[in-house]
């Protein structure tokens, strides 16, 4: 069994995440902490196979937990589960050896998919000989790079999402665009584009409000929603470099 430590500030989210983990075959929750300091103390005395870590913790920046782990020689694998979307934060997580990065809010299927790829990765590592060939190395890394089949709702594609997001982001946070206006820019139907805009709104990447004017009935306009960088800048001096989505 793969033993998981969950580090999550919100108790309700932590319990829901623990329930999700418990439903995935091969995984068991071995601990649950709500602060970085509590997680660090537990990791100093208890061995885990995987840490499922939030970045926004009440007492410290979540990646500082990983930094402390690595500085102390703890190579336990980490999956980040967070609302932080800044590319600089993602790249910092990668530099600390984070295995996966999962954006909140997420459902059971999204977490299950990440855990399954991680389980495959662990299996390939366990089966590998002490000295490996390039093909065997590529095989191991490919397990973590496998594309998720459940990251987007049914009927949405990553290519179209990138196109709609780029059009909206290009207009800037100060300029709102309707589904029809974006549809004209990306060459898709207004109905299709609206589905992507609603998805971006649900995930916090866009905001929506009613637009009034002329004799036509009101329509929705959408604006790119810049993330709050305050927590991202904590201790690390990070700045936003845009949005990156791996689907």
- What CATH number does the domain containing 197 carry? 1.10.10.10
Q: How much is the pLDDT for 107?
A: 85
In this structure, the answer to whether residues 129 and 208 fall within a common structural domain is no
Question: Is there a single domain that holds both residue 125 and residue 247?
Answer: no
More confident residue, 143 or 98: 98
Are 141 and 169 in a shared domain? Answer: no
Report the alpha-carbon distance of residue 223 to residue 1 in Å, rounded: 45
Q: Within this chain, do residues 77 and 173 fall inside the same structural domain, yes or no?
A: no
Is residue 76 within 8 Å of 43, Cβ to Cβ?
A: yes
Residue in 226, 108, 119 with CA at minimum distance from that of residue 174? 226
**Does residue 229 have a pLDDT over 80?**
no
Would you say 104 and 53 are in contact if contact means Cβ atoms under 8 Å apart? no
| Residue found under tokens 């609206």 | 194
pLDDT score of 22: 93
Regarding whether 84 and 119 lie in a shared domain, the answer is yes
CA distance linking residue 243 with residue 245, whole number of Å:
7
Per-residue pLDDT band for 161 (boundaries 50, 70, 90) equals confident
Domain holding 122: CATH number? 3.40.50.2300
Domain-ending residue, one of 98, 117, 145: 145
The distance in angstroms from the start CA to the end CA of the chain is: 27
**Residue 119 · residue 27 · CB < 8 Å:** yes
- For residue 80, what are the domain limits? 2-145
Tell me the Cα Rg of the chain.
20
Confidence check: pLDDT of 245 > 60 = no
Q: Are 43 and 67 in contact (CB under 8 A)?
A: no
Q: Which residues contact 71 (CB under 8 A, 6 or more apart)?
A: none
The predicted pLDDT at position 150 comes to: 47
Helix (H) or strand (E) holding 38: helix 36-45
Interatomic CA distance for residues 54 and 35, integer angstroms: 9
At 214 the pLDDT is 57
Q: What is the Cα–Cα distance from 172 to 224, expressed in whole angstroms?
A: 6
Classified as helix, coil or strand, 210 is strand
d(CA 83, CA 228): 10
Q: Which residues contact 135 (CB under 8 A, 6 or more apart)?
A: none
Instruction: With a cut of 50, say whether residue 231 has pLDDT above it.
Output: no
What are the pLDDT digits (tens) for 1-41?
999 999 999 999 999 999 999 999 999 999 999 999 999 99
Q: Are residues 105 and 133 in the same domain?
A: yes
DSSP track, 137-160? HHHHHHHHHPPPSSSS-TT--HHH
């Amino acid at each position: 069994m793969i033993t998981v430590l969950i580090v999550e500030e919100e108790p309700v989210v932590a319990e829901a995440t623990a329930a999700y983990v418990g439903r995935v075959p091969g995984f068991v929750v071995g601990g649950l902490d709500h602060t970085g300091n509590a997680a660090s103390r537990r990791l100093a005395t208890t061995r885990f196979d995987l840490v499922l870590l939030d970045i926004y913790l009440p007492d410290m920046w979540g990646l500082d937990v990983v930094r402390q782990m690595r500085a102390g020689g703890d190579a336990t694998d980490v999956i980040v589960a967070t609302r932080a979307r800044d590319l600089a934060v993602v790249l910092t997580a990668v530099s600390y050896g984070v295995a996966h990065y999962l954006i909140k809010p997420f459902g059971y299927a999204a977490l299950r998919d990440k855990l399954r790829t991680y389980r495959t990765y662990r299996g390939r590592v366990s089966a590998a000989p002490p000295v490996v060939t390039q093909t065997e190395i590529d095989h191991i890394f490919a397990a973590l790079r496998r594309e998720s089949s459940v990251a987007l709702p049914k009927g949405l594609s990553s290519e179209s999402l990138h196109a709609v997001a780029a059009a909206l982001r290009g207009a800037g946070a100060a300029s709102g665009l309707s589904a029809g206006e974006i549809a004209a820019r990306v060459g898709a139907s207004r109905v299709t584009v609206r589905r992507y805009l609603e998805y971006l709104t649900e995930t916090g990447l866009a905001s929506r409000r009613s637009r009034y004017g002329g004799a036509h009935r009101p329509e929705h306009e959408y604006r790119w929603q810049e993330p709050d960088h305050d927590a991202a800048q904590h201790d690390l001096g990070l700045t936003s470099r845009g949005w990156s989505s791996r689907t």
